[in-house]
Every structure is written in C-alpha cells, then in structure tokens.
Chains A and B, each alone.
Chain A
Amino acid sequence: MAQVALRGVNKSFGNIDVIRNVDLQIDDGEFVVFVGPSGCGKSTLLRLIAGLEQLTSGEILIADRPIMDLPPSKRGIAMVFQSYALYPHMTVFNNMAFSLDLQGVSKADIHQRVEAAAKILQMEHLLDRRPAALSGGQRQRVAIGRAIVRNPDVFLFDEPLSNLDAALRHDTRVEISKLHNQLGATTIYVTHDQVEAMTLADKIVVLKDGEVMQVGAPMELFNFPANEFVAGFLGSPKMNFFEGILTAGAGSDTGQFEGEGLSASGVRLVARDKGNGASVKLGIRPQHLTPDPHGPLKGTATLVENLGTETVVELVTESQVSFRLASPESLDIATGQTVRFSIDSAKAHLF
C-alpha cells in the first residue's frame, strides 16, 4: 500500500515561504493533481516529495514510512520531468536501464523489465536510438518508460505535457490516464493546466502562494468551490464575479444578494462568516447565464468569439464590470449590442 501523507509541510528559501503548512492525505492508487498558477509552489511540493528539495519543517510519509531522511532513490518514487531529462549520451534502452543497473539487477532481468515497459508504451523499435534522434512525444514516452521500469510505489509527474503540441498533449494525456488504470500506482501530477487537472485527477489539490486552497474530486471543486480563488481558477471561461451586498441569510447555507442590478436569493453562501449587509461577491459561471429579454443583468457585448462548439461573448455592465457568457448554441449577438440575462441562482455562489 503506497499512500502518501504530508503533515505540516513547510519550505522556505531564505526569507521566502514557498510552501506553508500543507497537510495532505493521498490514498493508495489515487491520481492526484496539484494545480495552481505559476509560482504557487506546486512543483516545489512535488520536489519535496521526490527528495530533490529538503523540508524546512513537517513530515512526509510514503506507505506510512517517514521519508524525510531518505535519498530520492530510496523513497520508492519515480519522476517524469517537464524537460524529460533524458541522458543524452545513452540509448533509450540504457536510459531506462540506468536505475536498474545501479541497483545491481541482473542483465537478464533488466532486459525483461525494460522490454516490458517498452511494450506498454509501444516503443520497442526505439530502444537503440539516442534521445537526440527522437521526437518530443517519443522522448516523453522514454521519460515515462524510465519511471515505469523502476516499478515505484508513487509516480511523480512534473508538468510532463507542457513541452508538447496541442494534439500530442491530448493523446499523451489520454495515454497517461490509461497507464494509470493499467498500473494502478499512486500518482502525483503537477500541472498549471486546469483541463489536465479536471480530466486526469481522482483528486485535485488547488494551490495558491504555497497554501492549499481546496482538495477534492474534480466535479466537487467545480460545483462547490470553497473560495473565490478555486471558483475562478477552475472552469473555462473563467467564472463571472459581481460585487454586491449580502442582504439576508448570514451564517446559513444560502444567502440573498443585491447588486449590479441583480437580486438573487437562495444562493449557496460560501462566506459564512460575513454578516448581513456585508459586501460579498456573486460568482456565476458563464455557462449559467441565460439570455432573457426581461432578465435583471444587462451587458453590452464587446467581443464575440465563435469557437464552433461554443460561443463566448465578452460583455460589460453599465458600471463597467466585465463578464462573459458561454453558450453551446451559436448566438445572434453582435458587438455593441445590449443583452439582458437572467441567472440560475441555484448554480451561483456567494464569496
């Protein structure tokens, strides 16, 4: 069983706290994605687990075993780097065999394990090549293969897809997902791309400035964001926010909102600590706005983007607050046109 536990993990570089008091429980076989904007500490957190950085304070346990004092190779992890980090002077075979060779595994075993991994990744024909003779996608496979042969308890992926082009990124994402199902190993995956996070993860950890913002299943985070940051970070296009006043329902599950011409009641209240009359923000996803000639929200279209599967319209309210509408239908809205919307208060949030 290879569950990973982080307890009160802190990391600072000089005076700068990069990771602040992170507690996290990752179950065996779980696919966990660390997501957040650049500089949020997600890569550092992964490197702390890998042992490439030393903790400032706290505890990390893999399979209930504290690993802070173990070198990376003894932690039962394998890591796939963003830049692939293949050894340029070795063939693909030797790249994959290197760790086994260092462990003193017999030649026959090495062959068997490397070939098995190559077969899983369908790259048996590449084994004699050097990294320089491989395409980006092939290098990525080798990097994953190098991790697989080690047969680790935990796979660590550090933004493995960001150097690939869009089409290949999609294919590789699907493959990583399949691979996880096939191998069943605990996987920690770092990305700044929320699509990767949503599609791959059993559990998403959203980070900001070295702190965990929210942990949960993708749809849980999407539907019930715990704060404004998570709400704004997940989902595309970004969630709309309108400033206003909490008029009723302070301290309860739902509240009433007034502002920006909107009046909504029975809205999920996230900011429970706010009293009636306090200023709050109403968050609603662009998909949850409905054009309605008598709707309370009024906006002037500034940009219409037709993506084929979706139409995204950028608008501004009379008080110059910009917001977006996303609709699966192609809408008959032109730039400069004023449109009214109604909102589905069951799908809105108050922060």
Chain B
Amino acid sequence: MGLYKPTIAGNGLAIALTVIFVLPITAIFAYAVTTPLDSAMVQLGHWLHESREWSFPVLQTQERFAKIGFAIRSIIIAVGISFLYFWLTNWLNQGLARRSSKGSWGKESYIIESIQPWIFVGPALVLLIFFLFIPAFSTLSLSFQEADGTRTIRNYAFLWDPSSLGYEQFRYAMRNSIMWLVLVPTVCISLGLLIAVLADSVRWGIVAKTLIFIPMAISFVGAAVIWRNIFAGGGIEPQQAINGLTPSYQIGLLKALLGHTAAYNEPLYSLKFWGNFFLMWILVWVQTGFAMVIFSAALRGVPEDTIEAAKIDGANPFQMFFRIKLPQIYSTVVVVWTTLVILVLKMFDIPYALSANDDDKLLLATMMENARNNWSVGGDNVENLFAAIAVMLMVTVLPNMIFNARRLRREQKELGH
C-alpha cells in the first residue's frame, strides 16, 4: 500500500491548502455580511433604553448591545465554520480519492481511510502546536536570552549564584516542589488504596467513603482556611487586635490538643521546614477521596475468580492485595498518580493562601507569582527569568513524562501493536 503514498500526500496537501484559503475567507465574508446586525442590536438597545428609561448613559447601553450582537454572530459563525470544515474536508477527501483511484474501489477506500483520521485530529493538532508547542519552545528560547535578544545562560544563574535575585527563593521552591511531587501523590495513593480496601470489608464502608470523598468538593483555598483554623496557634486567650484588624483567635485545635499555650502561638504550617508537611496534608486531605473512589471502582473490576483461585493457592490477605489485586489495577494506579502529579505541579492556592510571603514554603508556581510581584521592579530581563523558572518547572515533570511514555509503549508492544 506504500504505492499510494504520493497520492495520499497530494490529496492531503490539497485538502489542507483549500481549508487554509477557504475557511478564513468564508469567515471574513460571514462577518462582513452580518455586520448590519450589530447596528440592529444598537437600535434595539436604544429602543429598550428609551422605553424602560434606564438610568445609565445611552451610549453605554448601545455599546453593550453591540457587543452582545457581535458575540452572538461570532458563536453562530464559529459553529458554522466548524461544520463547514468537516463537510468540506470530507467532501474533498471523497472526491479527490475517487478521481485519483480511477475506479479502483479498494484504492479509493484506502486513500479515504488514510486521510480521514487527520481530518479529525488536524484542528486539535494545530491548536496544540500553536498554543502548547510553540509557546513551550519560545519559553525555552527566551530563557536563554537577555532582554535585548543576545544569547546568555545568565537567567539560570540563580541556580548557583548566591548573590543573584532568586537564588534563595528558587532553592526553596525547587526543594519544596520535589517534596510535594514525591510525597503528596504517594500518600494520597497509599491512603486511597488502604481506605478503598478496608471500606469494602465493613458494613458502614459506604458512609466512611462518602465522608472521605466530601473534601473533593471543597476548593483549595477553602480547604486551606479550614486547616488554618486547626493548625493555628494554640491556647485559649484571644490575642489583641492590631491596627483594627481581626485578631487571630487562638483556635488552633491541634496545638490545643498538644498542650501549647498562647505564648507559643506560631501556626504549625509556619514552622521552618516542617510547616511544608502541614501544607501538603491539606492537599492530601482534599485529594485522597479522588484516589479512593477510583481505586474502589478498579478493585471491584478485579475478577472474583482470580481472587478465589488465589484463596485456593493459599494467599493471605496481604499477599492477596499486593500480588493479586494491586498488579491487576496497576494501570489505574499509574493514571491516578499522573493526575496527582499534574495537580501538584499546578498547586498554587494552598501555599499562597497560608504562607505567601514565606520563602521556606514556596512552590515553583507560587514563586513565579512572587517573582512577578517583587522582581519586576528589579531588572529589565525579568521575563527571561520567568521563562527560566518555567523551564525548571517543566524539568521537574520530565521523569513522570518519560515514565508514562515508556509504559504506554510497553503496553502497546504487549498488545502486539
């Protein structure tokens, strides 16, 4: 079938070129033709304004109605263009294939089927290239540039230059990000598995699972606020209000239990280094329910007869779990792990809500925000510095990406692809 490659390439190119020319022209034309609608909307707004006697300026009403009109037009045109894209490409694909196959039905359907997937993948691919790949590579390139465009590696200086702007912050952020990346998914998955297994063996398991799942519905900032109260300073007496601000009441549940007094009122999450673990715990609390629900479903999918066979083979509950059940839900574990790793990389809210200005608690995401606020007054190549931080963020994901890619390839190989 390699014989048809030139035909397929030719047809593909023809379709792509047609789309590139036809669709934008159609879109511009559609906008041009429907422009009068905007003034109709303005008229409508004007009329409504007069008849209802709205208090704000009439110009504002007109502007708003013009915008609404434009939005409606845009939605209709965008949907129409998408429809046109699929109709046009499909029509072209079939027509071209019929012409170039000269009546050979097998060849015709082969050509159509070779191009068809690309028609569907194409738009997504283009968007990915424009909004993901190109920005990623330009970030990489920016990170090796001065503000005037000359090549440099100075932006990465904070990695080893103690006198540079972000040295301290970056070290903390890097250390914390790696700790979060390792600990949070591990703890979530371990707890999720444990709860999924144990909850299935008790009658009130469904209640337990619901309680553990509920935090999923709480936003990260909300969760941070809840746990701030638990981790807050201990003791009973209220503190003095300073400058009229709400005094931080000594409601720290955990510290009260530990017997700490008002005199020692540093919140647990502010502790040097160890505070990080209290912050991580908040995310674990929110996300364990997610892991648990997925694992619970996956464990139900483990064939009952393999469990019975293992019983007959003499597996005790531990061996049953680690050697029969867990390996069979391994791919689910990897999916959950990947999801959690991505979540941790994006983690911003929790450390930002509780310890935004504490360098010791920075993550790469919060550090970027911190840098945006504090460094922008400092240097002229700030954007290039940010690019360098983003690249470092990308580097921390690499092991995960490589692992996943390898696993995918191995699985496909096993299936004989």
- Which A positions have Cβ atoms within 8 angstroms of B? 50-52, 71-74, 77-79, 81, 83, 85-90, 98-99, 102-103, 130, 132, 146, 150
Interface string of B297-319 (1 = CB under 8 A from A): 00000010110111111110001
B327:A85 contact, CB within 8 angstroms: no
Q: Judge if B328 is at the interface, Cβ distance under 8 Å.
A: yes
B309:A73 contact, CB within 8 angstroms: no
| Closest-CB distance, B334 to chain A (whole angstroms) | 13
Q: Given A50, A83, A102, A132, which contacts B314 in the complex, CB threshold below 8 Å?
A: A102
| Closest-CB distance, B407 to chain A (whole angstroms) | 14
Residues of B within 8 A of A102 (CB): 313-315, 319
Q: A89-B327, A130-B414 are in contact. Are A81 and B311 (CB under 8 A)?
A: no
Task: Specify the chain A residue showing the minimal Cβ separation from B304.
Answer: A85
Residues of A within 8 A of B414 (CB): 130, 132
| Closest-CB distance, B281 to chain A (whole angstroms) | 33
- In Å, the complex CA distance between A310 and B303 comes to 43
Q: Judge if B133 is at the interface, Cβ distance under 8 Å.
A: no
B313:A85 contact, CB within 8 angstroms: no
Q: Judge if B397 is at the interface, Cβ distance under 8 Å.
A: no
Q: A81-B309, A87-B309 are in contact. Are A73 and B314 (CB under 8 A)?
A: yes
Residues of B within 8 A of A89 (CB): 327-328, 330
- In Å, the complex CA distance between A87 and B323 comes to 10
Task: Specify the chain A residue showing the minimal Cβ separation from B415.
Answer: A132
Q: Judge if B324 is at the interface, Cβ distance under 8 Å.
A: yes
B308:A52 contact, CB within 8 angstroms: yes
Task: Specify the chain A residue showing the minimal Cβ separation from B416.
Answer: A133
A87:B312 contact, CB within 8 angstroms: no
Q: Given A72, A81, A98, A103, which contacts B305 in the complex, CB threshold below 8 Å?
A: A81
A85:B315 contact, CB within 8 angstroms: no
A71:B311 contact, CB within 8 angstroms: yes
A98:B313 contact, CB within 8 angstroms: yes
Q: Given B308, B310, B330, which contacts A98 in the complex, CB threshold below 8 Å?
A: B310
A83:B313 contact, CB within 8 angstroms: no
Interface string of B189-227 (1 = CB under 8 A from A): 000000000000000000000000000000000000000
Residues of B within 8 A of A74 (CB): 314
Q: Given B305, B308, B314, B327, which contacts A99 in the complex, CB threshold below 8 Å?
A: B314
- In Å, the complex CA distance between A83 and B309 comes to 11
Q: Given B303, B313, B324, which contacts A73 in the complex, CB threshold below 8 Å?
A: B313
- Which B positions have Cβ atoms within 8 angstroms of A? 303, 305-306, 308-315, 319, 323-324, 327-328, 330, 414
| Closest-CB distance, A157 to chain B (whole angstroms) | 13
Of A51, A99, A150, chain B has the most CB atoms within 10 Å of the CB of A99
- In Å, the complex CA distance between A304 and B347 comes to 77
Q: Which applies to chain B's interface (DSSP): helix, strand, loop or mixed?
A: helix
- In Å, the complex CA distance between A98 and B314 comes to 9
A81:B308 contact, CB within 8 angstroms: yes
A87:B314 contact, CB within 8 angstroms: no
Q: A102-B319, A130-B414 are in contact. Are A85 and B305 (CB under 8 A)?
A: yes
- In Å, the complex CA distance between A86 and B319 comes to 16
B306:A86 contact, CB within 8 angstroms: yes
Residues of B within 8 A of A77 (CB): 312
A87:B319 contact, CB within 8 angstroms: no
- In Å, the complex CA distance between A87 and B232 comes to 50
Residues of A within 8 A of B328 (CB): 87-89
A85:B306 contact, CB within 8 angstroms: yes
Q: A89-B328, A89-B330 are in contact. Are A72 and B312 (CB under 8 A)?
A: yes
Could you list 17 further interchain pairs (A-B, Cβ under 8 angstroms) beyond the known A71-B314, A85-B305, A150-B313? A51-B311, A52-B311, A72-B314, A74-B314, A81-B305, A85-B303, A86-B306, A87-B309, A87-B327, A87-B328, A89-B328, A89-B330, A98-B310, A98-B315, A99-B313, A102-B319, A132-B414
| Closest-CB distance, A330 to chain B (whole angstroms) | 46
A83:B315 contact, CB within 8 angstroms: no
Residues of B within 8 A of A71 (CB): 311, 314
Q: A102-B319, A130-B414 are in contact. Are A87 and B311 (CB under 8 A)?
A: no
| Closest-CB distance, A318 to chain B (whole angstroms) | 52
- In Å, the complex CA distance between A322 and B88 comes to 66
- In Å, the complex CA distance between A102 and B319 comes to 8
| Closest-CB distance, A185 to chain B (whole angstroms) | 15
Residues of B within 8 A of A150 (CB): 313
Q: Given B306, B311, B314, B319, which contacts A88 in the complex, CB threshold below 8 Å?
A: B306
- In Å, the complex CA distance between A99 and B324 comes to 12
6 A-B residue pairings within 8 Å (CB atoms)? A72-B311, A72-B312, A78-B312, A88-B328, A98-B310, A98-B313
Task: Specify the chain A residue showing the minimal Cβ separation from B330.
Answer: A89
Residues of B within 8 A of A146 (CB): 309, 313
| Closest-CB distance, A203 to chain B (whole angstroms) | 24
Residues of A within 8 A of B305 (CB): 81, 83, 85
- In Å, the complex CA distance between A85 and B213 comes to 33
B308:A85 contact, CB within 8 angstroms: yes
Residues of A within 8 A of B312 (CB): 50-52, 72-73, 77-79, 99
Q: A88-B328, A89-B327, A102-B319 are in contact. Are A83 and B311 (CB under 8 A)?
A: no
- In Å, the complex CA distance between A146 and B310 comes to 11
Residues of A within 8 A of B310 (CB): 87, 98
Of all A-B residue pairs in the complex, the 8 with the closest CB atoms, nearest first, are: A73-B314, A99-B313, A85-B305, A89-B327, A85-B309, A72-B312, A102-B314, A81-B305
- In Å, the complex CA distance between A72 and B323 comes to 18
| Closest-CB distance, B228 to chain A (whole angstroms) | 44
| Closest-CB distance, B93 to chain A (whole angstroms) | 36
